[in-house]
Amino acid sequence: DVKVTQSSRYLVKRTGEKVFLECVQDMDHENMFWYRQDPGLGLRLIYFSYDVKMKEKGDIPEGYSVSREKKERFSLILESASTNQTSMYLCASSFAGANYGYTFGSGTRLTVV
C-alpha cells in the first residue's frame, strides 16, 4: 500500500524552539509539498519541492524552511516556533504533471505554547 508517512501525529513545542516535521513517501514521487490547514482558511501551501535539493516558496513561507536531501524525504523546519504556527500540517507528494493528484499523509497536529 503506497504511503506518505509523517513522523508525528501530535507535537507540543515551546515558543522559540526549533521544530522539525518529517515526511517520507515510498511512491518515487518527484514532487513533495507542505501545507497547513486552519479553520476557515482551508489548506495553504507553505513550500514545495520538485526534485532533490530543489525547493520553492508557496503562499505562506514566512517562518518556515525546508530540506530535501533525498527523493523520498521532505522536512519542514520551524526555525523559531511561535504560537501562530499552531496548526495541522499536511505533507503530500505527487508525480510530475498536473493530472496526478496528491497523496497526503495523515497530518501532524502541532501546538506551540
Nearer to other proteins, 13 or 109 (CB): 109
- Give φ, ψ of 61 to 5 degrees: -80, -10
Taken as a whole, the chain contains a residue count of 113
On whether the CB atoms of residues 34 and 90 are closer than 8 A, the answer is yes
Binding residue for other proteins, selected from 80, 106, 111, 113, defined by CB under 8 A = 106
Segment 27 to 56, residues that bind other proteins, using CB under 8 A: 30-31, 33, 35, 40-45, 48-50, 54, 56
- C-alpha closest to that of 27 among 1, 6, 59, 66: 1
Binding residue for other proteins, selected from 26, 96, 111, 113, defined by CB under 8 A = 96
On whether the CB atoms of residues 47 and 66 are closer than 8 A, the answer is yes
- C-alpha closest to that of 85 among 11, 6, 8: 11
Nearer to other proteins, 12 or 96 (CB): 96
Nearer to other proteins, 33 or 64 (CB): 33
Positions that interact with other proteins (CB under 8 A): 4, 9, 30-31, 33, 35, 40-45, 48-50, 54, 56, 58, 90, 92, 94, 96-107
